[in-house]
Structure 1
Amino acid sequence: IASSITPWEHNSFSGGRFPEEQGLCHFSEDYKQIYLSLTYSIIFVLGLPLNATVLWLSWHQTKRWNCATIYLVNLMVADLLYVLTLPFLIITYSMGDWWPFGELLCKLVRFLFYTNLYGSILLLTCISVHRFLSVCHPLRSLPYRTRRHALLGAATTWALVVLQLLPTLGFSHTDYINGHVVCYDTTGPKNFDRYFAYGMVLTLSGFAFPFVVVLVCYTLMVRSLTKPEETFMKAGNAVRAKSIRTILLVCILFTLCFVPFHVTRSFYLTLRFLTSQDCQLLWVASLAYKIWRPLVSMNSCFNPVLYFLSVGNNRVRLLQKLRHNKVGEHPAGAQGERPRGGQVWVLSRCSVGKTSSKTLTMTCLNTVVR
């Protein structure tokens, strides 16, 4: 083990060994060639058809998109854009961390990775806030739970994400290490100090703050949903079940994907910034971060599940049409036909009842499900 550590990451060095003459710790990263190639392949095989199917089903949905569908479709677009870049990473890691696609694609792949990551977090935050308002404040929040506000929220999310991630286009670049081209995941050694400051700010604004908002929303929702008499007066059983499913899945996403990734990444970048002399600690931090880096992309496979759990009964009819190769025909709801399960719990003057009137059903949806 070398006596000192230079605080930079080669990121894509064949064989994963640092040159001894540069005074770096020596540890192997040969696992990346198999592990990253295999993991990204699995995510690509699962994520591409799942997200494409959700977008296709949403496009063929006869009902107007409600707020939840608008957020979820934007989520699927972010996932699909990222999933389409995975073949470049699969080829790169299977070839021993050699990047043959040029600097422009290097910047684009890194940019889309973080766009998917922080776009997903912010869109899930929007979904969580919307669900919180519909459960805890169904009447007072009606003016804010509209399609117009959902479209505005999605557009604002994209704008914030792009603005936050524009610096990654400058930090990410290609370089030559021992005779072959690499694509930096973070940045080169000369700019690492600036990248560390940027990375910490991005972690706070893109992850920590939205995570706190999600926790507050779900804490208040759980407190409300565990009071049967209050829940009964505020929302119907269908809304309550849908809210519980949303809470569980979003919590799983943050627990398995976002939280471990940001914890390991922050710890690893901090050790490099502090030029830690403990090579074994740096190796553990590097291993944890690089193992979780592809796993955070598993959100691209979980997000479509959120769609099927959150969107209304129309998805069932669409899936039945798809199974019987009848998608080209008029789906449920066309020509005046009511979708299956047309009777829904509705909120009317803070009481819950059933109605078969089409006008009242639309009012119900606008009141408690929007």
Structure 2
Amino acid sequence: MNISKKVLDDNFTNNCFNCTIDGFKQAVYPIMYLFIFLLGAVGNGLSIYVFFQPSQKKISANIYMQNLAVSDLMFVSTLPLRATYFLLGSRWVFGDILCRTMTYTLYVNMYCSIYFLTMLSIVRFVAIVYPFKHMKVANMKYARITCAAIWVFVLASASPLLCKEIAGYIDPVKCLELHPSSTHRLLMLNSIVLIVGFILPFCTIIVCYVFAIKTLLKSRTPQRKRMICHKKALLTIIITLIFFLLCFLPYHILRTVHLVYSNSSQDNLPVHKALVVTLCLAAMNSCLDPILYYFAAENFKAKFRSLCCR
């Protein structure tokens, strides 16, 4: 009797846990995803329109921002399907292939965004610290080749998420959840991605910020034109650093903690709920990037105001 009671209690506890976390996801994800979709679709759609105007300045910084806006728009277009899944009570009705594509596009966007933001910070950093080498780094051909390399690298690196063994589910109506059988593989992938996809870019941006500040503090009052260039360059690095601290850092920490303890009795509801919140913050980067374009892209503010007035 005691054993039966213990089994029933354990099952009840597990069911309560599942209901609680499912209910939390159902309350948070649809609202956040639809909110991000609306802001991201409008913001990135307008940004792409401005960037591809014939009169828009063709410089390397704008090339990186164009690719970033395209990546963000591709991602936010998938958010209504994600919101629908949670509104239906975590029931996927769009098929297995589209399920795997949802996970794939999330991580392609996230790491393309991280690399494009990092390259943008490097270009701006060189403009401040090594102005004589800036023309070489800011070369349009170099920027296009770098963007193409980033797309190919991230698309290829995230391809394991298209495999059914990792992102697939035994239950066809389940999606966007961590499958217990794939936890070990995902933990190994997370270790590599954490270093290559987040820590190295994050450290690069911090170095750019520190040396840019150091150079600006040393320099005497430069010409007005150079002051404007330095201000825009520093603003780019600062906004990028804020995006990393707000959107990407919390998610990578919580994702690692959750994967480590997902098969352990130490896994707890607060960590799982915190992961849900940080994933929303990571997705929110897609609708925050237009702020960067407005303040840091060459000639973007004037073109955007002209468009709004029209």
TM-score norm. by structure 1 comes to: 0.76
Q: Any residues of structure 2 matched to 1:246-285 within 5 Å, and which?
A: 246-272=236-262, 275-278=263-266, 282-285=268-271
1:181 to 173, 190, 201: 173
* Structure 2: runs of 5 or more not aligned: 4-8
Q: Which amino acid aligns with 1:172?
A: A
What is the Cα deviation at residue 235 of structure 1?
7.5
Residue of structure 1 in register with 2:308 after alignment: 323
Q: 1:88 to 1:74 in 2, by over 3 A?
A: same
1:204 aligns with 2:199: no
Q: Would you say the 8 A contact 1:41–1:90 is kept in 2?
A: yes
Distance 1:141 1:58 in 2: 22
Residue of structure 2 in register with 1:193 after alignment: 184
Distance 1:109 1:222 in 2: 40
- Which runs of 4 or more aligned residues in structure 1 lie more than 3 Å from their structure 2 counterparts after TM superposition? 19-26
Q: 1:65 to 1:22 in 2, by over 3 A?
A: farther
Distance 1:228 1:141 in 2: 17
Q: Would you say the 8 A contact 2:209–2:238 is kept in 1?
A: no
Distance 1:234 1:267 in 2: 49
Distance 2:247 2:260 in 1: 20
Q: Any residues of structure 2 matched to 1:149-164 within 5 Å, and which?
A: 149-164=142-157
Distance 2:202 2:302 in 1: 34
Secondary structure of 2:92's aligned partner: coil
1:106 aligns with 2:91: no
The structure with more radius of gyration = 1
Q: Which amino acid aligns with 1:224?
A: T
Residues 36-70 of structure 1 show CA distances to partners (whole Å, capped at 9, x for unaligned) of 11011110110000000000111114144200110
Q: Which amino acid aligns with 1:211?
A: F
Structure 1 window deviating more from structure 2 (118-127 vs 138-147): it is: 138-147
1:238 aligns with 2:224: no
Residues 111-135 of structure 1 show CA distances to partners (whole Å, capped at 9, x for unaligned) of 1110111110000010011111111
Distance 1:234 1:213 in 2: 28
Distance 2:75 2:219 in 1: 42
Residue of structure 2 in register with 1:58 after alignment: 51
What is the Cα deviation at residue 292 of structure 1?
1.1
Distance 2:156 2:12 in 1: 36
Q: How many residues align?
A: 298
Distance 1:323 1:75 in 2: 22
What is the Cα deviation at residue 302 of structure 1?
1.2
Distance 2:98 2:10 in 1: 31
Q: Would you say the 8 A contact 1:138–1:235 is kept in 2?
A: no
Q: Would you say the 8 A contact 2:24–2:273 is kept in 1?
A: no
Identity between Structure 1 and Structure 2 (%) = 28
Residue of structure 2 in register with 1:76 after alignment: 69
Secondary structure of 1:62's aligned partner: coil
Q: Would you say the 8 A contact 1:175–1:183 is kept in 2?
A: no
Distance 1:316 1:293 in 2: 30
Residues 59-108 of structure 1 show CA distances to partners (whole Å, capped at 9, x for unaligned) of 11414420011000000000000000001011111111111000111111
| Structure showing the higher helix proportion among its residues | 2
Secondary structure of 2:132's aligned partner: coil
Distance 1:259 1:173 in 2: 27
Q: Which amino acid aligns with 1:294?
A: C
1:116 to 92, 109, 118: 109
Residues 265-302 of structure 1 show CA distances to partners (whole Å, capped at 9, x for unaligned) of 11111112xx43335xx222211111211221111111
Residue of structure 2 in register with 1:89 after alignment: 82
Residue of structure 2 in register with 1:46 after alignment: 39
Residues 166-204 of structure 1 show CA distances to partners (whole Å, capped at 9, x for unaligned) of 11111212432xxx7111444x22222112111221111
| Structure showing the higher strand proportion among its residues | 1
Q: Would you say the 8 A contact 1:51–1:79 is kept in 2?
A: yes
Q: Would you say the 8 A contact 2:183–2:259 is kept in 1?
A: no
Distance 2:15 2:133 in 1: 59
Q: Would you say the 8 A contact 2:127–2:230 is kept in 1?
A: no
Q: Which amino acid aligns with 1:153?
A: T
What is the Cα deviation at residue 23 of structure 1?
9.0
* Structure 1: runs of 5 or more not aligned: 4-18, 326-370
Q: Which amino acid aligns with 2:200?
A: F
